[in-house]
Amino acid sequence: MRDTRESRLLLVLLIAIAFALITVDIRAGEESPVDGARQAAATVFGPVEKGVATAVDPVGNAIGAVRDSGKRHNRIATLERENAGLKARLGSEDQTRSRVRELDEMLKRAGAGQYGIKGAEVIAIGAAQGFSWTVTIDAGSKDGIERDMTVLNGDGLVGRVSTVGPDTATVVLANDPDFTVGTRLEKTGELGFATGQGDRALSVQMLNGKAKVNPGDRLVTFGSRGNKPFVPGVPIGEVVKVEPSRGDLTRTVWVKPFVTFSRLDIVGVVVTPPREDPRDAVLPPKPEAPKPTPTVTVTVTPSATAGVAGKPADE
């Protein structure tokens, strides 16, 4: 439509009519004369509006999300703090249960060997002592700890006490290269000397070069005179490799320690030795080999009355 005087008058007239209809509709309320027209328009344009609203809703939601982002951020931060606290609590409970299991196993070993022990916690590793494998425990002379006492845990031999202070003590670990302990082979009683090899298996020199040793055999401490530095019967480890004898007077075997030296936590210092050598009593029972599952074989024997294929049996 061209911009003429007549078109301008028509636009003004339409606007005036629109305002008049709005005024009448507002004053009439529910009895408005244009209510029918409104319903008809809703019927025609409703589906179109719904489709447009559906398309626009994600945008509206995004705007709402931006508007509420501050509140949501606070809620997320609160949930994250609660989650972190829950994880810390669960981790603490798991650690507590783990330490209770360690203590329980250590008490079982001490009871089996009739060792009087003083419990302690590893509080430091021994970097200050040079390149040796040592740890520091939170028990000292005030607790009855003395030099050259045996140290064990729920798995077996940890080491021996080397230096003692009033409240702490240093323990040389059994895998230290300068560590040597007398050993006795389970059941046969063959003797030897185990030497630490750092993070490798212990090297054990069997005194009998013809001793019968097999992988899987286990060793315990032989014990020292006066029970210092070692009491008898403490589990050491399991044989993993046997060197050929070659006619030598001694024989070398390699033993994997029962103790994991990189995960030490709760230990016990033997302050009272056993009255008698416990021999193999402190070793845990070996797990039984799984029994083979029986195989059932079914043999089908043809019957004398069985019929020939395709014919009845009575023919």
> Per-10-residue mean pLDDT for the chain, 315 residues long?
67 69 57 55 45 48 47 64 64 75 91 94 74 89 95 96 95 95 94 94 92 94 94 96 81 94 93 94 81 64 55 49
Omega into 229 within 30° of 0, i.e. cis? yes
CB 152 within 8 A of CB 234: yes
Encoded amino acid at 272, one letter: T
Confidence at residue 50, expressed as pLDDT on a 0 to 100 scale: 43
How many helices and strands in the chain, by DSSP H and E? 3, 12
69 alpha-carbon distance from chain centroid: 37
Q: How far is CA 306 from CA 65, 298, 301, 310, in A?
A: 82, 19, 11, 11
Confidence at residue 76, expressed as pLDDT on a 0 to 100 scale: 67
Sequence-ordered strand ranges (E) for the chain:
116-125, 134-137, 150-152, 157-164, 169-173, 180-185, 191-195, 202-206, 218-221, 235-242, 251-257, 266-272
Quote the CA–CA distance of 274 and 310 in Å, as a whole number.
Answer: 84
Alpha-helical regions (H) of 29-137: 35-67, 69-113
The four Cα atoms 61, 67, 70, 73 give a dihedral, to 10 degrees, of 10
Confidence at residue 132, expressed as pLDDT on a 0 to 100 scale: 80
Q: Who contacts 155 (Cβ-Cβ below 8 Å, separation ≥6)?
A: 105, 235, 258, 259, 260
What is the value of pTM for the model shown? 0.63
For residue 185, what are the β-bridge partners?
A: 219
Quote the CA–CA distance of 200 and 146 in Å, as a whole number.
Answer: 29
Confidence at residue 248, expressed as pLDDT on a 0 to 100 scale: 73
User: Domain coordinates of the chain in residue numbers?
Assistant: 114-272
- For residue 79, count CB atoms less than 10 angstroms from its CB and return exposed for 0-12, middle for 13-18, buried for 19 or more: exposed
Confidence at residue 228, expressed as pLDDT on a 0 to 100 scale: 92
Superfamily assignment of 114-272 in CATH?
Rod shape-determining protein MreC, domain 1 (2.40.10.340)
